[in-house]
Amino acid sequence: MKRSWYSRMLFSYFPVFLLVVTVLIFLAFMIVTELSRSETRKANYISTSYIADTVERTLGDIELGVLQEIGSNYSYNDYLDAPSGGASPVSGSYEIVQSMNRLSERFSLIDSIYVYRSKDKQILGQSGYVNLEQSGEAEYLNRLSTGKETNGWSTVRKVQPRNSGELRPVISMAGRLPIPWGSEGYIVINVSVYRLERLVESLTNEDLSFLRIRDAAGNPIYDSSPAQDGGKNRTLSTIEAKDLGWTFESGLQAGRLFDWISVISYVWFVIGLATIALGVFYIIYITRRNYRPIHQLMVRIQSLQPEARKADAAPAAASDELALMHHALDRLVQVTTDYERERYENLVIQRRELFMDFLGGERLEDAEERLDAVDPFEGTRDFAAFVVMTAELNREKDWHSLPVQDQNLLKFALTNVMGDLMAGQQLQAWSEWISGQRLGIIIGLRQPPGENNPDTLLELAKGCHSWIMDNLRLSLTFGIGPAVTNWQEIRHSYTAAAEVLSHRLSLGTGVAAAHADRQEESGLKSYKYFGSFTQLVREFRLSGENWRMRLEEIFESFRQDRLKDEEIYMLLEVLLQALEQELKGLSETLDRQLAAAWTGGMKERIRSSTDLEEIREILTDWLNETYHVYVSANELKSHRVMITEVKHYIEDHYANPDLSLNHLSDRFQISAKYASYLFKEEFNMKFVDFLAELRLGKAKELLENTSDSIQDIALQIGYANSITFGRVFKRITGMTPGDYRKLRLQNNE
In the 3-class helix/strand/coil scheme, how is 287-339 assigned residue by residue?
A: HHHHHHHHHHHHHHHHHHCHHHHHHCCCHHHHCCHHHHHHHHHHHHHHHHHHH
Q: In what order do the strands lie in the sheet with 185-192?
A: 128-130, 122-125, 110-117, 185-192, 168-177, 157-159
Three-class HEC string of 501-557: HCCHHHHCCCCCCCEHHHCCCCCCCHHHHHHHHHHHHHHHHCCCCCHHHHHHHHHHH
Residues 507 and 537 in one domain: no
Say which DSSP state 4 is in: -
Whole-number Cα distances in Å, 636 to 25, 579, 587, 629, 671: 99, 21, 10, 10, 16
Alpha-carbon span 95 to 86, nearest angstrom: 18
Query: In the prediction, which pLDDT does 634 show?
Result: 64
Closest residue by Cα to residue 525 from 568, 565, 481: 568
- The CATH number of whichever domain residue 162 belongs to comes to 3.30.450.20
Q: Give the model's confidence band at 230: pLDDT under 50 very low, under 70 low, under 90 confident, else very high.
A: low
Do 514 and 557 lie in one domain? The reply is: no
Same domain, 537 and 602: yes
Query: Do the domain assignments include residue 456?
Result: yes
> How far apart are the C-alpha atoms of 662 and 680, rounded to whole Å?
16
505 and 530 belong to one structural domain:
no
The overall longest dimension of the chain from CA atoms, in Å, is 157
pLDDT for 500-511, tens place per residue? 777 777 776 555
CATH number at residue 727: 1.10.10.60
Residue 263 counted as domain residue: no
Select from 574, 603, 622 the last residue of a domain.
Answer: 622
- The lowest-confidence range among 254-258, 393-397, 523-527 is 254-258
Q: Is residue 415 part of a domain?
A: yes
Residue 93 lies in a domain: yes
For 416-439, how does the pLDDT look when each residue is reduced to its tens digit (9 = 90+)? 777 777 777 777 788 888 877 788
pLDDT: is 381 or 123 the higher one? 123
The reported pLDDT for the residue numbered 517 is 41
For residue 647, give the nearest of 677, 687, 684 by alpha carbon.
Answer: 687
* 713 and 604 together in one domain: no
**% of the chain beyond a pLDDT of 90:** 0
Point out the domain boundary residue: 575, 601, 622: 622
Range of the domain at 610: 526-622
Q: Are 467 and 340 in contact (CB under 8 A)?
A: no
Check pLDDT > 50 for residue 362: yes
Nearest to 620 by CA among 555, 530, 677, 679: 555
For residue 364, tell me if it sits in a domain. Answer: no
Tell me: do 500 and 582 sit in the same domain. Answer: no
Let me know whether 494 and 530 are in one domain: no
Residue 198 near residue 240 (C-beta atoms within 8 A): no
pTM: 0.41
Does residue 662 lie within any of the structural domains? yes
Q: Is residue 467 part of a domain?
A: yes
Across the range 369-383, mean pLDDT stands at 75
For 53-108, the pLDDT digits (tens) are 888 888 888 888 888 888 888 888 878 877 765 555 666 788 888 888 888 888 88
Bridge partners (DSSP) listed for residue 246: 241
**What is the pLDDT, as a whole number, of residue 1?**
43
Which are the contacts of 267, defined by CB distance < 8 A and separation ≥ 6?
A: none
Q: Among 200, 216, 237, which residue terminates a domain?
A: 200
CA–CA gap between residue 115 and residue 123 (Å, rounded): 6
The predicted structure's pLDDT at residue 306:
55
Please provide the DSSP assignment of 362-392 as one string.
-S-TTHHHHHHHH-TTTT----SEEEEEEEE
Q: 51-60, 78-87, 563-572, 721-730: lowest mean pLDDT where?
A: 78-87
> Does one domain contain both 722 and 692?
yes
Q: How confident is the model at residue 228 (pLDDT cuts 50, 70, 90)?
A: low
237 backbone dihedrals φ, ψ, rounded to 5°: -135, 140
The identity of residue 682, as a single letter, is E
Q: By three-state DSSP, how is residue 11 classified? A: helix
Residues 514 and 530 both lie in one domain: no
209 belongs to a structural domain: no
pLDDT in tens, 161-209: 766 667 888 888 888 888 776 778 888 888 888 888 888 888 887 777 7
- Please indicate, yes or no, whether residues 77 and 195 belong to a single structural domain of this protein: yes
Q: 460 or 237: which carries more pLDDT confidence?
A: 237
Q: What are phi and psi of 482, to 5 degrees?
A: -75, 160
- Residue 129's pLDDT band, with cuts at 50, 70 and 90, is confident
Q: Which residues pair with 429 in a beta bridge?
A: 443
* C-alpha distance from residue 225 to each of 52, 117, 199, 245, 516 (Å): 17, 42, 16, 21, 114
Q: Which residue has the higher pLDDT, 707 or 682?
A: 707
Q: What is the chain's mean pLDDT, rounded?
A: 76
Residues 43-65: pLDDT tens digits? Answer: 888 888 888 888 888 888 888 88
Count of domains forming the chain:
4
pLDDT at res. 520: 47
Q: CA–CA separation, 620 vs 545, rounded Å? A: 13
Claim to verify: residue 555 and residue 593 sit in the same structural domain: yes
CA angle 210, 213, 219 (to 5 degrees): 130
Spatial distance between the Cα atoms of 176 and 71, rounded to a whole number of angstroms = 12
Both 580 and 495 in one domain: the answer is no
The answer, yes or no, to whether residue 239 has pLDDT greater than 80, is: yes
> What is the reported pLDDT for 455?
66
Q: How crowded is residue 80: how many other Cβ atoms within 10 Å of its Cβ?
A: 18
Asked whether the predicted pLDDT for residue 242 surpasses 60, the reply is yes
